[in-house]
Structure 1
Amino acid sequence: MAAADPPFTGPDLCRLTACAVVDLLKRREVSPLDLIEASLSRIAATSPAINAIVTLCPDRARDSAAAVDPASLLAGLPIGIKDLMPVQGVRTTFGTPALADNVPQTSDPAVLRLESCGGVVIGKTNTPEMGAGANTFNPVFGATRNPWNTAMNAGGSSGGAAAGLAAGEVWLSQGSDLGGSLRTPASFCGIVGLRPSPGIVASPGKDGFNAFGVEGPMARTVEDCALFLDAMAGWDAVSPISFPAPAQSYLDTCRSDAGSIRIGYAPDLGGLAPVEPEMAALLSDALTRLQAPDVTVVEAAPDTTGTETAFRTLRGLGMWTGFRTTPSVVSDRYKTTLRQNIAEGGALTVDDIAEAQFIRARLYDGMRHVFETCDVLAGPVTGIGPLPVEIEYPPEIAGHPSRDYIDWLRFAFLATVCGLPALSLPVGRDARGLPVGLQLIGPPRGEARLLQVARRLEQATGFAPTPIDPVISH
């Protein structure tokens, strides 16, 4: 562990990677119940400081553990599920007051898949209301805080998942991503988060053909992320865009020799958004350090013109589609910004939507050409690091005012609009000691190669995946 990193004083089992713990489970050297008790102990110790896992289901977890096949992929490993995904018999609030006491009678198909692979749900992780926001707070559970400095935010909308992983509460946690909801908290909390291509993880919802929002794995190492993706991936008839998992597991591919790697580095993703000078310097230094005989870094400047327009339009369309029939008893209690976003989606014209689709096709074609010469495209996850937990979004970045709560997330838009996989990899710490992630965007359906490259770069960074004790600050 780097000298500047906080200590970890939790259970020894919680210190281990998911892959190491699954190996112990398969060899019957530990039991799922051992892990459940270790996880519950760690959650009890850290929850007052970070508020990451907001609803526990210990009895359900113990009952599930008794039925787990030790030969299954996860073999009884406790996992976190975001509070946007229904779990049968477990309070699922979506962070909104009208659903504060909602207890689903059925689980989301993605939860069923994870449980069939030996995952044991230990609890629900905190999220902004209805997942709308990159700072995790809501009127039901309050704010989630960053384990590296509890005065700071953990990002969002998968902030509870990221903070819980960083503090060692669980080994794997499910996240979701539309506008960086998985990548931003991964960067802020110093863990790994992967937004897969649409269709990799079956996700039905009300708008099953919408390819913007996806479910994805979050973990402390790239290998653990690959293991979790293996458990999440696969065809399911409930999802019209899903397709079968690859013949070779993501974990096996991830662990194989990456060979020669060529990284295209776009410091601001073709002028997509501003970057604070310290962030720009940190990422540039990280790319310099990652260069090696088998790793080449070249400057890249993709044409990203129109990305924000296409993203805002298609996000608005998705919000109107998904929320327009929500009962008023629920929607009337939404936060103001969420109601505004939904209304903006309803005001779109057919020409707005047609133009966004045209831009989207052009952007995808440009990115396709980038990957003819590069394995991945690297750039910022965000242009700024974590802010005090009370601040919903940065008022400005590098002197450029933020117009609203999604404006500062523009670096996340490109992969979403183009349907490309994107991963946040920890590569450094800022002057405050807070983590900084590097965004790696992969080629179409290129999760396997992206994970393989990320693992090679992870080895070069030298950062240990050991979780930390929350650093209490007021």
Structure 2
Amino acid sequence: MTAVELVEGYRRKTISPVEATQEALDAIDRYDERVNAFVLVDREGAMAAAKESEARWHTGEPLGPGDGVPTSIKDALWTKGWPTLRGSHLIDEAGPWDEDAPAVARLRETGAVILGKTTTPEYSWKGVTDSIKYGATGNPWDPTKTSGGSSGGSATAVGLGMGAWSVGTDGGGSVRIPAAFTGTVALKPTYGLIPLFPPSAFGTLSHAGPMTRTVRDNAALLDVIAGFDSRDWSAMPTPTSSFLDGIDDGVAGLRIGFSPDLGFVDNHPEVDAAVRAAVEVLQAAGAEVSEVDPGFDDPIDAFNVLWFSGAAKLLQAYGEAVGDQVDPGLRRTAEAGAHFTASDFLDATATRMELGRLMGLFHRRYDVLLTPTLPLPAFAVGQDVPDGSPSPDWTSWTPYTYPFNLTQQPALSVPCGFTSEGLPIGLQIVGKRHADGLVLRVGQAYQSATAWHTRVPSLQEV
């Protein structure tokens, strides 16, 4: 059941939070040994929280719209009482762990049942999920394939029913990449809508984002975790309306710009065909679709300056202690980042600002932009890049995601088909800053007309 369905069931007393939590824990027992999505599971704590939620629902006094929903948290977000080790040997497990990240605090306030923490590559530095500390996370559709990353544990958990929803982070595609690879839904919201604390080493590229199986659940989770937090200097004011409002208004009359390749990307042919078919669905639903490119060159060089500099600053704090304790790719990235100058950083920032201006002008003409989420399906687990890649950098195969971290626009990934090998394909819906509700509305219109999100992962068929 989706989170929205669970809450309605709690209200009607046709299902209880205890039953839902037990089912999520059973799914973890059934599947996690094969996919490695969790680094921590608190069975006793989860069942105790579920019983407390059940009592509140019986008296008609739930704490909020997420009361009793089984939830997981990416192990990049602080959780009071649990270590947040970020897939790294560098962090002292002893803590203290006495504070929740803003999104986690909002989940506790609404009464969500927090099952545990999900996997991440070391410090969320790359687009797949494996670490020296915890190993690699497999894909629900084929555990020999990557789940994507860096929020791959959360996507796999949601995809296999190991909790109805999860919260991940996205600095260059890290909720959307695994959503596309696992056939789930994820939103990178407008920057600041979901506060972050402590701040990311990758600065204002990094967002937190809801990860779910449906767009409606995504909007419901965003309602819970969006809101002002004084610990984040860039936090936006708390929304005054629900992201579920108007979500079923459809796309009739909306102006949609479709870019099949952004002008510089080569797609796997099955990805191209699936995304074009998805665009036709929205056109049939009444949207005015034009095939057009936003008109910018690949900003990978600017992104890499900012990203690699963040990696360098991150490891700088550990000095000579780093040694062989960290992911070799992270160390290589940090070494490259250490050579960038302040002038390089400012040049990259200028490129970022110009990209934001161009996209602002684009959205005067088009309500949303559609692209593939990724140009390829999932590749072998445990690799940073697919076989035959000319580059060792994860950014070489994620050209549709990182541009919109630079611009801080909302970007949603929804499943839009499968390859002949049974691997999911994602459609990305991008809106202007602060148009998160519109992006969700377009995603909901697509899901209302299709059934890709209802497909059962291969592991659940065994």
TM-score above 0.5: yes
Corresponding residue to 1:312 among 265, 285, 304: 304
Task: Name the counterpart of 2:412.
Answer: 423
Q: Give the Cα–Cα distance (whole angstroms) in 2 for the partners of residues 79 and 455 of structure 1.
A: 22
Give the superposition deviation at 1:472: 9.0
User: Of the candidates 456, 461, 464, which is equivalent to residue 445 of structure 2?
Assistant: 456
2:341 counterpart residue number: 349
Q: Deviations over 1:127-153 (max 9, x none)?
A: 112212222111222211111112211
What secondary structure, in the 3-state scheme, does the structure 2 residue paired with 1:372 have? helix
Matched, 1:219 2:212: yes
Contact 2:186 2:414 in 1 (8 A): yes
Q: Does the 8 Å CA contact 1:156/1:185 hold for their aligned counterparts?
A: yes
The one-letter amino acid of 1:230's match is D
Larger deviation: 322-331 or 43-52? 322-331
Partner of 1:13: none
Which of 63, 71, 74 is the equivalent residue of 2:48? 63
Change (3 A) 1:256 1:279: closer
Question: 1:194 deviation in Å?
Answer: 0.4
Q: Does 1:365 align with 2:365?
A: no
Q: SS of the counterpart of 2:156?
A: helix
Question: For 1:394-443, what per-residue CA distance to the aligned partner results, in whole angstroms no more than 9, with x for missing partners?
Answer: 1446xxx2342322112112111111111111111111111100111111
- Matched with 1:151 is 144
* Corresponding residue SS for 2:168: strand
What is the Cα-based RMSD across aligned positions, in Å? Answer: 2.3
User: Residue deviations 1:363-405, cap 9 Å, x none?
Assistant: 11111121112121111211111112143311446xxx23423
| Counterpart residue identity of residue 178, structure 2 | P
The DSSP-based 3-state class of the residue aligned with 2:275 is helix
Aligned to 1:121: 114
Question: Distance between the aligned counterparts of 2:453 and 2:377, measured in 1?
Answer: 20
Deviations 1:185-229 (CA, angstroms, capped at 9, x unpaired): 100100101001110001022459932111000100000000011
Structure 2 spans left out of the alignment, 5+ residues: 57-61
Of 222, 225, 229, which residue of structure 2 is paired with 1:229? 222
Task: Report if the CA contact (8 A) 2:136-2:381 is conserved.
Answer: yes
Instruction: Rate the CA distance shift 1:209–1:379 in 2: closer, same or farther, 3 A.
Output: closer
**Pick aligned residue for 1:90 from 76, 82, 97:** 82
> For 1:470, which of 442, 455, 459 is the aligned residue?
459
1:274 aligns with 2:266: yes
Count of matched residue positions in the alignment of Structure 1 and Structure 2: 454
Alpha-carbon separation, structure 1, partners of 2:132 and 2:461: 23
TM-score by length of 1: 0.90
Contact 2:409/2:430 (<8 A) preserved: yes
Cα deviation, residue 291, structure 1: 1.9
How many Å separate the matches in 2 of 1:213 and 1:109?
14
Measure the CA separation in 1 of the matches of 2:201 and 2:326.
Answer: 23
Structure 2 length-normalised TM: 0.92
What is the CA–CA distance in structure 2 between the aligned matches of 1:121 and 1:372, rounded to whole Å? 41
Which amino acid in the other structure matches residue 425 of structure 2?
V
Letter in 1 for 2:109: S
Question: 2:27 — aligned with what?
Answer: 42
Deviations 1:63-98 (A, max 9, x none): 333554524110111101011122222243211234
Q: Deviations over 1:96-139 (max 9, x none)?
A: 23448456333223211111122121011111122122221112
Q: Which residue of 1 is the match for residue 391 of structure 2? A: 402
Q: d(CA) in 2 for partners of 1:309 and 1:101?
A: 36
Post-superposition shift, 1:245?
A: 2.8
Identity %: 31
Change (3 A) 1:115 1:328: farther
Taking the aligned partners of 1:242 and 1:230, their CA distance within structure 2 comes to: 15
More displaced 10-residue stretch of structure 1: 189-198 or 262-271: 262-271
CA pair 326-254 structure 1, distance change in 2 beyond 3 A: farther
- Residue 132 (structure 1) aligns with: 125
* Contact kept in structure 2, 1:95 and 1:140, CA below 8 Å: yes
